[in-house]
Amino acid sequence: MGLYEISLATGVGIYIILAVSLNLITGYCGQISLGHAAFYGIGAYTVALLSKMGWPMYLTLGAGFLVAGIIGTIIGLASLRVKEDFLAIVTMGVAFLFVGIVRQQEFLGGEMGISGIPSHGMSKPGYLALVCGFAILSILFSWYLKRSWMGFAFDAVADDEKTARVLGLDIKAYKLTAFAMGTAIAGLAGGLYAYYTRFIVPDTFGFIESVTILSMVAVGGIGSIFGVVIATILLVLMPEFFRFINDYRLLLYGVLLFSVMRFAPQGLAGFFSYLVKRKEG
Amino acid sequence: MLFIELFIQGLIQGSTYAIIAVGLTLVYGLLRVLHVAHAGLFTLGAYLGVAVTNQTGSLSLGILVAALAAGIVGMGIYRLVYEPMLNKPPYVALIASIGLYIGMEELFRLVFGPFGLSFSSAPLQTVVVVFGIHLRACQIIAVVTNVVLLGGLAWVAQKTRIGTGWRATVDDPQMSACFGIDPIKVRYRVFFAGSALAAVAGVLVALLTNLVEPTMGAVPSYKSLAIIVLGGLGNVMGTLIASLILGIIEAFGTIYIGDFLDRDAIAFAFLIIVLMIKPTGLFTSR
Amino acid sequence: MSAILLAKSVTVKFGGVTALDNVHMEVEEGEFLSLIGPNGAGKTTLLNTITGVVTPVTAALSLGGKDITHLSTHHRIKLGLALTHQIVRPFQSMTVQENVAFAAGYKKVRNILSSFTSVSRAPEMKKAMEFLHMLGIEQYKDQEVSKLPLGVLKRLEVARALAIEPKILLLDEPLAGLNSQEAGKLADTVKSISQKGMTIVMIEHNLSEVLRISDRLHVLDNGRNLAQGEPAAVMNQPEVRAAYLGS
């Protein structure tokens, strides 16, 4: 594997962790978050700052995970107070606020971001292995969650929250838990990204990025781990394959998003199970 | 003096937001869908308005063509995008709308080029002094146009059969159908009107900034979403008031808290603060 | 016999409309109480106030001696309430058996940690079969709920509510929409559940079934208490007849 391929694969791995983490919130608990990239950013900035202060990688990554999760919980608490319809827009607000605030803070590097983030100290293939390791961990975690009673509860909340409440489920606690877990894992992805690029700017973590992550989950099929992973790989690699029509990349991307929602809203997962059903029946 | 000037600037900006947000809130009221692609019609209007004005020398013609074209495209969007998705979960329409907007942005870039379009000779740029404040003619025209359009819309909504039909359908589609109001026709009309208004806003903004570029719809679109939540989803009056308040807050905010917070994030900061205090928004939704 | 559920001074307003005006209701342990009254009397509102879905202007509510007036809905459910809806609300993403099994696992989802550490669903799926059997719908266990007839779904509502092992079962028009044969059968099933010792509060319009199976009646009219007591005696009261038939 050449350096370029390793670099690409590392990027894919980080996005898989991100998409899987959003799937926890949106797919499992049914809450549409348009601000997920903010937590990606919180993780990245936490790691950037701490590593420049000399902290070792395992501590900085842990801190990125925790800080993103804690802030995610606070924001989750706040967003629970508003009506369901508002949630998408409030999370969008979070995306803009993150960028808007970070851009103005000197100690966070302002518009220019933070550069000179220390190296992770591993070889490039070694780091790829680390990222893949975390990606696999998050996939396994999601898979376990789905099978557990917490996943069963998430299904109920996503299906019909009022009925779940009347069966004795503490809806707020479950939504908050989904939020905390999803944002913490996104923070981890952010930390891995910081070591990968060694240079971060606020605009990377804005609304557009949040939509990008959401579209990976939507194209994959909200709630389906398998679908989301495949969709992420495809969507991250797609611009690389379509280099030759570089100019039309974004247009194709928009068309893809639209088409999937229009013609196959269950995403890849739905399409796949449709094929399976056709074979059987 | 600065205070009044900022206030007026805020009103001008706010009235532009209002024209854009009104279409958005009506669509939400009808379909419970966040019509993100609405911003694309804003940009379309700006491009067409400038292009036609440059070709024919007539601004009025430019505005007319922009409004009509956008209205038709808007109706097309309803038919091809939202109607087939009505019984799906809300995120489907939302993401489709986002995809559509991205596609539109790119189409504008590919057709008109990335560097933007300007008036060959921008009309209404003469400076007028009103109560000691220097305003360009286009700024005054913008406010007046917005007031007239919104007033017209309010009049139609309150006083005409068509308008009553809109309001009834927003409140209770099935009941209004029982009274012979065709909800489908109402939807087409709402999309036409909302899109036409967005297009006019686009031309007005083009007049104010003399630059039309593919991504110009993004920022107003985001802010409009915050505005319609503040104003109460589906509540036209509330949206209007929220737009004006936001315009004023932005005007003052940029000066006073610009060190802490980016201008464009002010809308969302305001939104989140309001929602924390009053989770139902400034006004109630319909 | 002690009162297991007490609702006192319940006043509920929706905007300018007073849905309930100083209503009192007592439910004895183990009894089968039917809550009746003309349309719009406030019966569903009263049940919703008890479960906490609706917030009253004033109320004093207690369950098993414990004051539940200021508790959230899921807290009250945990203390022993169960509710079935007038318009059935099965989980669309689950099969019949899964619907009941989820409810049966109520202990596991009571707190976040235990829900995270519990994986096995087999015992609950088994328990679900008991409830499905009790309601006579075990043959539908693997069916998707979207295609099932109303009679089955109504029974599913009850089975699911029973699966959380409540102290009191609140039924909101369980017989509505069923033909007379189905209604009679479901009424018998509900009666047998009552005879096993479950306290039941049932809202129903189907008066013939109500009179057949209830221990006691509680009548509401226009948001106010109208009468309560033994079925025959209550139905003989002129105010009650007037409320239903209009005079």
Q: List, for residues C58-84, the tens digit of each pLDDT value.
A: 999 999 889 999 999 999 999 999 999
pLDDT of B284? 62
What type of residue sits at position B61?
Answer: L
Q: Compute the average pLDDT of residues C106-117.
A: 92
Residue A194 located in a structural domain: yes
End-to-end CA distance of chain A: 42
Contacts of A276 (CB under 8 A, 6+ apart): none
Residue A133, chain B, CB below 8 Å: the answer is no
Test A148 with C78 for CB contact under 8 angstroms. Answer: no
**Residue C18 DSSP one-character state:** E
Q: b vs e for A27-39, b when ≥16 Cβ sit within 10 Å of the residue's Cβ? A: bbbbbbbbbbbbb
Question: Of A32, A100, A250, which is closest to B262 when you measure between CB atoms?
Answer: A100
Residue A266 located in a structural domain: no
Closest CA to B46 of B213, B219, B220, B243: B213
- For B208, the 3-state DSSP assignment is helix
Least confident of A255-264, B148-157, B196-205: B148-157
Cα angle, residue B122 at apex, residues B117 and B125 outer, rounded to 5°: 135
Q: How many domains does chain A contain in total?
A: 1
B160 burial (CB, 10 Å; 0-12 / 13-18 / 19+) is exposed
Cα angle, residue A64 at apex, residues A62 and A68 outer, rounded to 5°: 120
Residues of C in contact with A161 (CB under 8 A): none
Using the predicted structure, report yes or no on whether residue B278 has a pLDDT greater than 50. Answer: yes
Contacts of A83 (CB under 8 A, 6+ apart): B279, B280, B285
Q: Compute the average pLDDT of residues C139-168.
A: 93
In what helix (H) or strand (E) does residue C25 lie, and over which residues does it extend? strand C17-28
Contacts of A172 (CB under 8 A, 6+ apart): A80
What is the span of the domain harbouring residue A71? 3-205
Using the predicted structure, report yes or no on whether residue B42 has a pLDDT greater than 70. Answer: yes
Q: How many CA atoms lie within 13 A of A225 on its CB side?
A: 17
CATH superfamily name and code, C1-80+169-191+200-247: P-loop containing nucleotide triphosphate hydrolases (3.40.50.300)
Closest CA to A166 of C154, C109, C52, C95: C52
CB A5 within 8 A of CB A175: no
Question: Of C83, C102, C117, which is closest to A166 when you measure between CB atoms?
Answer: C83
Residues of A in contact with B103 (CB under 8 A): 251, 254-255, 258
Residue A272 located in a structural domain: no
Q: How many CA atoms lie within 13 A of A156 on its CB side?
A: 30
Torsions phi, psi of C22, nearest 5?
50, 55
Residue B17 located in a structural domain: yes
CB A78 within 8 A of CB B277: no
Closest CA to B35 of B238, B180, B171, B197: B197
The interface residues of chain A toward chain C in range 173-202, judged by CB-CB distance below 8 A, are 173-174, 177
Residue A77 located in a structural domain: yes
A88 is written with which tokens? 């998408």
Using the predicted structure, report yes or no on whether residue C247 has a pLDDT greater than 50. Answer: no
pLDDT of B286? 47
- The strand pair at C32-36 and C216-221 is best described as parallel
- Angle between helical axes of A171-197 and A36-52 (0-180°, round to 10): 50
Residue A235 located in a structural domain: no
Closest CA to B38 of B168, B181, B228: B228
Outline where DSSP puts E strands in A67-123: 114-115
Q: List, for residues B211-248, the tens digit of each pLDDT value.
A: 888 888 888 888 888 888 888 777 778 888 889 899 98
CB C223 within 8 A of CB C19: yes
CB A83 within 8 A of CB A89: no
pLDDT of A36? 95
Test A167 with C77 for CB contact under 8 angstroms. Answer: yes
Q: Compute the average pLDDT of residues C33-61.
A: 91
Instruction: Tell whether the torsion through CA atoms of B168, B171, B177 and B178 is positive or negative.
Output: negative
Q: How many CA atoms lie within 13 A of A51 on its CB side?
A: 28
- The strand pair at C17-28 and C3-14 is best described as antiparallel
Least confident of A2-11, A243-252, C104-113: A243-252
Q: Which of A91, A215, A262, A263 to mutate to test the interface with B (most CBs of B within 10 A)?
A: A262
Q: How many CB atoms lie within 10 A of CB A253?
A: 20
Closest CA to B213 of B124, B89, B93, B105: B105
What type of residue sits at position B135?
Answer: L
Test A152 with C115 for CB contact under 8 angstroms. Answer: yes
CB A216 within 8 A of CB A108: no
What rounded mean pLDDT belongs to chain A? 89
Instruction: Tell whether the torsion through CA atoms of A58, A63, A64 and A66 is positive or negative.
Output: positive
Q: Compute the average pLDDT of residues B12-24.
A: 89
What is the rounded CA–CA span in Å between residue C102 and residue C92? 13
What is the rounded CA–CA span in Å between residue B216 and residue B201? 12
Q: Compute the average pLDDT of residues B42-49.
A: 93
pLDDT of C218? 93
Outline where DSSP puts E strands in chain A: 114-115, 199-200
Q: What percent of chain B has pLDDT over 90?
A: 17
Choice between B63 and B258, residue whose per-residue pLDDT is larger: B63
Test A167 with C103 for CB contact under 8 angstroms. Answer: yes
Residue A7 located in a structural domain: yes
B127 burial (CB, 10 Å; 0-12 / 13-18 / 19+) is exposed
CB B144 within 8 A of CB B155: no
Confidence of residue A105 (pLDDT cuts 50, 70, 90): confident
Confidence of residue A48 (pLDDT cuts 50, 70, 90): very high
pLDDT of B1? 64
What is the rounded CA–CA span in Å between residue C77 and residue C110? 11
Q: Compute the average pLDDT of residues B152-158.
A: 77
Using the predicted structure, report yes or no on whether residue B76 has a pLDDT greater than 90. Answer: yes
Residue found by looking up tokens 């969507």 in the block: A235
Q: List, for residues A115-150, the tens digit of each pLDDT value.
A: 888 888 888 899 999 999 999 999 999 999 999 999
What is the span of the domain harbouring residue B24? 13-215
Confidence of residue C1 (pLDDT cuts 50, 70, 90): low
Q: Which of B95, B221, B250 to mutate to test the interface with A (most CBs of A within 10 A)?
A: B95
pLDDT of B165? 73
Using the predicted structure, report yes or no on whether residue B285 has a pLDDT greater than 70. Answer: no
Domain boundaries, chain C: 1-80+169-191+200-247, 93-165
Confidence of residue C246 (pLDDT cuts 50, 70, 90): low
What is the rounded CA–CA span in Å between residue B254 and residue C208? 71
Q: Compute the average pLDDT of residues C181-194.
A: 92
β-pair partners for C218: C35, C228
Q: How many domains does chain B contain in total?
A: 1
Question: Of B88, B103, B266, which is closest to A265 when you measure between CB atoms?
Answer: B88
What is the rounded CA–CA span in Å between residue A202 and residue A185? 19
Using the predicted structure, report yes or no on whether residue B62 has a pLDDT greater than 70. Answer: yes
Choice between A87 and A202, residue whose per-residue pLDDT is larger: A202
Which residue of chain A comes nearest to C160, CA vs CA? A167
Question: Of A147, A162, A167, which is closest to C119 when you measure between CB atoms?
Answer: A147
Residues of B in contact with A262 (CB under 8 A): 81, 84-85, 96
Question: Of A147, A156, A166, which is closest to C102 when you measure between CB atoms?
Answer: A156
- The CA-atom distances, in angstroms, between C28 and each of A60, C51, C156, C197 are 61, 17, 26, 11
Instruction: Tell whether the torsion through CA atoms of A175, A178, A180 and A183 is positive or negative.
Output: negative
Closest CA to A150 of C110, C133, C237, B258: C110
What is the rounded CA–CA span in Å between residue C125 and residue C190? 22
Residue A19, chain B, CB below 8 Å: the answer is no
pLDDT of A120? 83
Interface A–C counts its CB contacts (< 8 A) at 76
Residue A20 located in a structural domain: yes
